[in-house]
Amino acid sequence: MIGAGPIFIDNHSDIGILMLHGFTSTPDEFKEMSVYFSNKGFSVHAPLITGHGTMPENLLKTNPGDWTASVKRAYFELKKTSKKILIVGNSFGSNLGFWLIKELQNEPMGIVTLDAPIFLKYHWLAVARLNTYGFFKSYYQKSPRVYQTDYIDGVDRITYPVIPVKSLRQFLNFIKTETIPNLDKVTVPALVTHSKSDPVIHPRSATYIYNHLASQYKKNYWFLSEYHGFTVDGRRTEIFQKISDFIKEIS
């Protein structure tokens, strides 16, 4: 997909920011954020997670082991230029970030989550669909009403319009078997942010994450947005500043 490639800006800084994009999305969602933080002198890396940014058929060929391997590889690529790494995860990128922190035994300097999923807004409905006609379909069509970030405000984000049903099962299973049981193993500083009116991920996900992290230093930040996506409705600068403040607090 045009514009779906990884972002890597090497400023030879002590602190690097690893930006992990959401499920079925691409590093394009970090385009503005990468410029903002590179202008502040940080090195930034937003990798393309395996199976994304090409065709949905390629996501279908992957599994969570491929996704986690790609974020771990990206971490060590950034580690070549920066001694300390802050992870910023958008949506499911946050879950992959938690996995990476557990895998690296809390080596990263911290994590920022943006609308991280534990519970979908219509979780029971998604599960019901998977357990009924999901057995007979290969792809789930995204709804423009729900996934509004692709359709409004002139923002043409590069994402898949459909989700392979097999991959959606793996997504939900990863949250159930990997994220939820291991939040209490995460001790690094954490900034948990979420939109109060997120139409895709239920806001109680942020509360659950905050309450179950073992981090001694953790903060919640709620922002006002009707969309699932921090890049859409003018809130990006506000969020960028919160992340910048967080970096100063934990440095």
Pairing of strands 43-46, 7-9: antiparallel
Pairing of strands 139-141, 162-164: antiparallel
Domain that holds residue 225: 7-250
- Its pTM surpasses 0.85: yes
Burial track 115-135 (b if 16+ CB lie within 10 A, e otherwise): bbbbebbeeeebeeebeeebe
Assigned domain for 1 exists: no
Between CA 89 and CA 96 the distance in angstroms is 8
Please list the alpha-helical segments (H only) found in the chain. 31-39, 56-60, 64-79, 92-103, 123-130, 165-174, 180-182, 204-212, 236-250
Question: In whole angstroms, how far apart are CA 133 and each of 129, 130, 165, 185?
Answer: 6, 6, 10, 36
Looking at the structure of the chain, the number of domains it has is 1
- N-to-C CA span, the chain: 37
Q: Give the pLDDT of the chain (251 residues) as one tens digit per residue.
A: 777 899 999 999 999 999 999 999 899 989 999 999 999 999 999 999 999 999 889 999 999 999 999 999 999 999 999 999 999 999 999 999 999 999 999 999 999 999 999 998 766 566 666 666 556 567 767 665 444 443 333 334 567 778 888 898 899 999 999 999 999 999 999 999 998 878 788 899 999 999 999 999 999 998 866 555 665 555 678 899 999 999 999 99
Assigned domain for 123 exists: yes
Assigned domain for 108 exists: yes
Burial track 147-164 (b if 16+ CB lie within 10 A, e otherwise): bbbbeeeeeebbbbeebb
Assigned domain for 161 exists: yes
Between CA 81 and CA 241 the distance in angstroms is 24
Assigned domain for 2 exists: no
Candidates 7, 160, 2, 15; CA nearest to 92 is 160
Assigned domain for 135 exists: yes
Between CA 94 and CA 98 the distance in angstroms is 6
- Grouping H, G, I as helix, E, B as strand and the rest as coil, residue 197 is coil
Candidates 120, 156, 116, 115; CA nearest to 140 is 120
In the chain, the amino acid numbered 228 is H
CATH code for position 153:
3.40.50.1820
The pLDDT of residue 162: 81
Q: Looking up tokens 């949506």, which residue turns up?
A: 91
In the chain, the amino acid numbered 158 is I
The pLDDT of residue 196: 84
